[in-house]
Amino acid sequence: MPTVVIAYEAFGDYNVELETLRESGAAVIQAGNLTTPEAQQQAIDADAIMVTIQKVPGELIERMKQCKIISRVGTGLDAIDIPTATKCGIWVTNVPDYSIDEVSTHAISLILMQARRLPLLVDMVRQTGWYSANMDRPAQRLSTQTLGVVGFGRIGRASARKGRGLGLNVLVYDPYASKEDVEAEGCTSVDLETLLRESDYITLHSPLTPQTERLINATTLKLMKPTAYLVNTSRGGLIDEQALLEAIQANQLAGAALDVLTVEPPAPDHPFLKEPRITLTPHNAWYSEQAKIDVRRKGAEEVVRVLRGEKPKFPANKL
Ligand code: NAD
């Protein structure tokens, strides 16, 4: 009987996974995450493992002699050593389409929160009973503003569409997207420097790769408008966090809203937690009740397919 290790506790229960995996006839082991030696040993002995955002390093993959699939129950693949998995003949899959609507809406919500000064106004009413000109700051009509979208994949494209729907002028930087494709969505394809110089809101949607790591750093932050607002719902590693903090404190940009950090959760003394111009949400952009079911079902379906000897639907590698 094959064994499937579920190496996460993120969703509270395993009902969706157990129901979906039932038809594979596999024994299912709930192994917590992969940080303990026991959990690692269970992964080493498994025919399939299911993971969320924890690291799956090459040294562990090389010891997983029976494993046929590492199913990433989510989208980002940056924590899995895919070249080693490929070398070992193990499929790596993800669920690329479970939260396109949720993450793009989250990014746009963070932009609207800033554009319409929502935290400020809510705070103002709480503190003063109604309106106080002293506490207020100017707002701009969205149709006069430019949104810069970095990464024009599934989520970036959905964010661009929603931004266009709100009347924003949308610039796109994606070295792999064609100009025609970008223009077909009513957006303008530009280089990164132009996007950073001209955008009032910048939203990051590229994956974390060696090319995108610290894409936003002391040098690129200097290109932004002092009124610009940065939103990141992709991966914390896209931003040099120390440089971002310094840039905001030096008024090089207006602020940032981040759903993702390089280390999650942040340490209790993380300076972002004390900086009022930085808003954090707890890596929750993906969440809706529907997305939560979809991602687990689709992640488990990949395992069932591969254990049946079929090709997965969303392979991240070629075997
Ligand atoms: P996708 O693969 O559909 O799109 C990524 C896009 O980034 C592609 O168009 C690609 O060409 C582009 N890209 C690659 N390298 C680039 C570079 N150097 N500069 C600019 N663009 C580049 O992925 P997606 O589904 O849109 O997801 C994007 C990311 O969102 C994921 O990698 C994941 O990390 C993150 N994500 C976060 C959450 C959350 O809850 N916060 C949920 C899902 C996904």
Reported as a pLDDT band with limits 50, 70 and 90, residue 35 is confident
C-alpha 193/C-alpha 279 separation (Å) is: 25
Contact present, 136 and 124 (Cβ < 8 Å): yes
Closest CA to 316 of 65, 62, 85: 85
Give nearest CA residue, ligand 1 atom 15: 206
| Average pLDDT rounded to a whole number, residues 289-294 | 98
| Average pLDDT rounded to a whole number, residues 47-69 | 96
pLDDT of residue 128: 98
136-164 tens-digit pLDDT: 999 999 999 999 999 999 999 999 999 99
Closest CA to 63 of 84, 79, 33, 78: 84
> Which runs of consecutive H residues, i.e. helices, occur in the chain?
15-21, 37-44, 58-63, 82-87, 100-115, 118-128, 154-165, 179-184, 192-198, 218-221, 241-249, 289-307
Choice among 32-41, 228-237, 286-295, 302-311 with the minimum mean pLDDT: 32-41
Give nearest CA residue, ligand 1 atom 1: 153
pLDDT of residue 32: 82
Which of ligand 1's atoms lies nearest the C-alpha of 235?
34
46 pLDDT above the threshold of 90? yes
Give nearest CA residue, ligand 1 atom 30: 234
Paired strand residues for 258: 232, 280
34 pLDDT above the threshold of 90? no
Pocket test for ligand 1, best of 172, 205, 232 (most atoms within 8 A of CB): 205
Residue with tokens 């106080």: 132
Contact present, 50 and 299 (Cβ < 8 Å): yes
User: For all residues of the chain together, what is the average pLDDT?
Assistant: 97
C-alpha 14/C-alpha 12 separation (Å) is: 7
27 pLDDT above the threshold of 90? yes
Contact present, 190 and 171 (Cβ < 8 Å): yes
DSSP label at 312? P
How close is the Cα of 305 to the center of ligand 1, in Å?
A: 25
Tell me, rounded to whole angstroms, the distance of Cα 113 from its chain centroid: 19
- Active-site positions read 235, 264, 283
Asked whether the bond before 265 is cis by omega within 30 degrees of 0, the reply is yes
Q: Which two tokens stand for residue 245?
A: 């903090």
28 pLDDT above the threshold of 90? yes
C-alpha 284/C-alpha 264 separation (Å) is: 12
| Average pLDDT rounded to a whole number, residues 238-261 | 98
| Average pLDDT rounded to a whole number, residues 213-239 | 98
In the three-class reduction of DSSP (H, G, I as helix; E, B as strand; rest coil), residue 295 is classed as: helix
Ligand 1 surroundings by CB, under 6 angstroms: 75-76, 96, 99, 103, 150-156, 173-177, 205-207, 209, 211-212, 233-235, 259-260, 283, 285-286
Of all residues in the chain, the percent with pLDDT exceeding 90 is 96
pLDDT of residue 135: 97
Closest CA to 279 of 257, 248, 261, 253: 257
73 pLDDT above the threshold of 90? yes
How close is the Cα of 217 to the center of ligand 1, in Å?
A: 18
91 pLDDT above the threshold of 90? yes
| Average pLDDT rounded to a whole number, residues 250-270 | 97
How close is the Cα of 316 to the center of ligand 1, in Å?
A: 13
Which contiguous run of DSSP H or E holds residue 257? strand 255-258
169-193 tens-digit pLDDT: 999 999 999 999 999 999 999 999 9
- pTM flag (> 0.75): yes
pLDDT of residue 10: 84
How close is the Cα of 51 to the center of ligand 1, in Å?
A: 19
